[in-house]
Structure 1
Amino acid sequence: MKKLLIATTALVATAGVAAADVKLSGYGRFGLDYRADRGLPNGPGGAVTDSKTQVNMRMRLNIDASTETDSGVTFGGRFRLQSSTNSNATATSAALLYATYAGMRMEVGNTNNAFDTAKLVYNSEMGYLDRSFGDPITVGAAYSSSTGVANTMGIFASYNFGAGSVRVSWKTPDQTTNASVDEEVQISADYAFGQFTVSGVYSDNTGGLARKDYFIGAEYAVNSDINVGLLHFRGKPDGGASQNRTTLYGNYSMGAITYRGYVAHDNSMTLPFQTKTAFGLGLDYDLGGARLGADIHRSYDKETVAGLGVRFDF
């Protein structure tokens, strides 16, 4: 009887798993990371004793579970586990819940936002760390890989139609208080036609701060091996001066090797900015299921940033 009860329990548990769709995904990366500005007072870490060369690593695991109703609506959710360089623990994200149907998607909780999910915004990135000084000035309250701050709440909606997509998102830093808070509202849209892809974003109270941010970008695929793009970001705090960043980038693939490059211009001269121009060169080598990435940059504080490592996705 005991064995029968154990077998029955296992069967019921297995049936529950089979009725739902549970998936694991993520990536791992490791390598060397050199930053000449790491030992500067205004550099990463903010201490002159910081080591300029470090071993960098990250392990990310997404846990997705979903089920489909008889009417064709898919409901699901996601947790994320992540451990990164110099951490002695694994962070667990807050939950994201979603529903999808016929190209439409709605998220609640620790949601994505319209800026972070727009096409092209990160296309100048390179190396196994996927970085660039031509990245957005800020994208605001995107999906958080850590527990985040209590009482935050987001709502995200998107619709994909053929070669285009539109998104809108709302996030509040605290939904439990009646006090005046800056709620982030964003909208973005993308469209691809022929060899061109265009994308744009408008963001109000980005990151819960009293500011507005904009993005417009375009990419042209010369052929299957070559593409070039131009990105422009603008951020303006309420009552403050605007910051503009323009990035020109290009990629060229030849067999297993992809060469990457960009140059970015930013009109900000606040610390640690010492120059208005940054640039970078990178190379990816396809290992067949993983990639070896190398990158070298000159930052806005005129310091060298470089890396060499491996990234694999699963």
Structure 2
Amino acid sequence: MKHVLFATTALIATASVAAAEVKFSGYGRFGIGYQEDRSTDSNVSDTILVSRFRLNIDGDVETDTGVRFSARVRLQADEDSDTGEANSAGLNGARFSVIFGGLRVDAGNVSGAFDNSDLYFGNEPGLEEFLGQYSGVDYDFLEYSSTGAGSNAVFFQYAVGDLAFGASYDTDAINGADRWDVSATYIFDNYSATVIYGQTEAVAGGDKQDLIVLALGAELGDFSGTLFVGRDGDTPVNDFGEETDGTVYGASLAYSLGAATTITAAYGDGSAEGDTQQYGVGAIYDLGNGATLRGAVGREKVGRAGEAQTIADFGVQFNF
């Protein structure tokens, strides 16, 4: 799942009114990626080198009253999957946070309720996590940007016991299409459930767009899995001019084969003729000390008019 962080403390400074720290965390990954008929450009190979370096820089301070203030920026460099060439590397937009007890408020380059949900993403096979139970979704929700400025938005979360509520608001002063979402998540024993709803206001006389999702999760011994169902409305047509409104659904699983090997799988689709279908299986082999071998193979088809393509990758990831 997408939101696991591995942090190490690089500097700790103390003062009379607060305890402050700067932390560095992230990962590196590299390997090969394959996409059948990747490009109509004969100079672009179906098989390319894939890579990513990600460094999170977090600054935190906690006051005497227990209020924590935090800020994050990210350095990232990776490849352009369309051309196989390296993307420009750079620093992204900052995210600022205030945390007190079960309340968290983020401002700036933030994730919305969908992007903050592990249950929404489920288990994603592949070194690049290129397969997902959410593949049929066509709604553009608020996401944290790793390489750009991101949206200047706010996100709220409040957790009490096993219940958590989230909400985000993103105002678009240029297009006048404000975007918001809300979520409720409940964890009971080894099971979890979340409901998320998001809406984008109409632009230039068009219809408002929305998405509602229900996702369920379970962890039973060596097995973990998720179920995903939702509906998106008034989303744009795909590149073939096919409608993308309708029901979306999917599932994912992970199964641990002993201490070192985990098998993952995911399936996603939708009822609309323009939805994207994905399915495939992957594996993770633990090399120890945060290093893993990862890979997957699957199929993807965009809309009823598209042709199914085989996609695959393999490589190493190391967390730090």
What range describes the TM-score normalised by the shorter chain of this pair?
0.7 to 0.9
- Number of matched pairs: 284
CA contact (8 A) 2:121 2:132 kept: no
Find the counterpart in structure 1 of residue 46 from structure 2.
52
Provide the rounded CA distance (Å) in 2 between the counterparts of 1:37 and 1:233: 31
Provide the rounded CA distance (Å) in 1 between the counterparts of 2:280 and 2:87: 32
Greater percentage in helix: 1
For the residue of structure 2 that corresponds to 1:121, the secondary structure is: helix
CA RMSD of aligned residues (A): 2.6
CA contact (8 A) 2:92 2:149 kept: yes
The residue identity in structure 2 corresponding to 1:249 is S
Find the counterpart in structure 2 of residue 215 from structure 1.
213
For the residue of structure 2 that corresponds to 1:89, the secondary structure is: coil
5+ residue gaps, structure 1: 1-13, 41-46
Residues 160-169 or 84-93, more deviating? 84-93
Whose radius of gyration is greater, 1 or 2? 1
1:178-197 to 2 correspondence within 5 Å? 181-197=176-192
Q: 1:123 to 1:206 in 2, by over 3 A?
A: farther
1:76 Cα shift? 1.4
Q: TM-score, normalised by structure 1?
A: 0.82
Corresponding position: 1:260 with 2:257: no
Q: 1:102 to 1:132 in 2, by over 3 A?
A: same
Corresponding position: 1:290 with 2:253: no
Q: 1:234 to 1:49 in 2, by over 3 A?
A: farther
Residues 279-288 or 115-124, more deviating? 115-124
1:148 Cα shift? 3.0
The residue identity in structure 2 corresponding to 1:278 is Q
1:262 Cα shift? 2.5
CA contact (8 A) 1:228 1:249 kept: yes
Find the counterpart in structure 2 of residue 98 from structure 1.
97
1:19 Cα shift? 4.9
CA contact (8 A) 2:254 2:264 kept: yes
Find the counterpart in structure 1 of residue 118 from structure 2.
119
Q: What whole-Å deviation, never above 9, does each CA across 1:246-273 have from its counterpart, x for those lacking one?
A: 1122221011111112232322333xx6
For the residue of structure 2 that corresponds to 1:142, the secondary structure is: coil
CA contact (8 A) 1:158 1:168 kept: yes
The residue identity in structure 2 corresponding to 1:312 is F
CA contact (8 A) 2:124 2:252 kept: no
For the residue of structure 2 that corresponds to 1:143, the secondary structure is: coil
1:149-298 to 2 correspondence within 5 Å? 152-174=151-173, 181-205=176-200, 210-221=208-219, 223-237=220-234, 242-255=245-258, 256-270=260-274, 277-288=277-288, 289-298=290-299
Find the counterpart in structure 1 of residue 29 from structure 2.
29
Greater percentage in strand: 2
Provide the rounded CA distance (Å) in 1 between the counterparts of 2:113 and 2:253: 25
Identity %: 29
Runs of 4+ in 1 over 3 A off after TM superposition: 206-210, 238-241
Q: What whole-Å deviation, never above 9, does each CA across 1:107-153 have from its counterpart, x for those lacking one?
A: 1111121110023111131121122142352451211112336xx42
5+ residue gaps, structure 2: 1-12, 80-84, 237-242, 302-306
Provide the rounded CA distance (Å) in 1 between the counterparts of 2:225 and 2:189: 14
Provide the rounded CA distance (Å) in 1 between the counterparts of 2:247 and 2:120: 14
Q: TM-score, normalised by structure 2?
A: 0.81
Find the counterpart in structure 2 of residue 64 from structure 1.
58
Equivalent of 2:315 in 303, 309, 313: 309
1:48 Cα shift? 5.4
Q: What whole-Å deviation, never above 9, does each CA across 1:34-77 have from its counterpart, x for those lacking one?
A: 0004125xxxxxx4543110000000111100111111101111
For the residue of structure 2 that corresponds to 1:62, the secondary structure is: strand
The residue identity in structure 2 corresponding to 1:32 is I
For the residue of structure 1 that corresponds to 2:38, the secondary structure is: helix
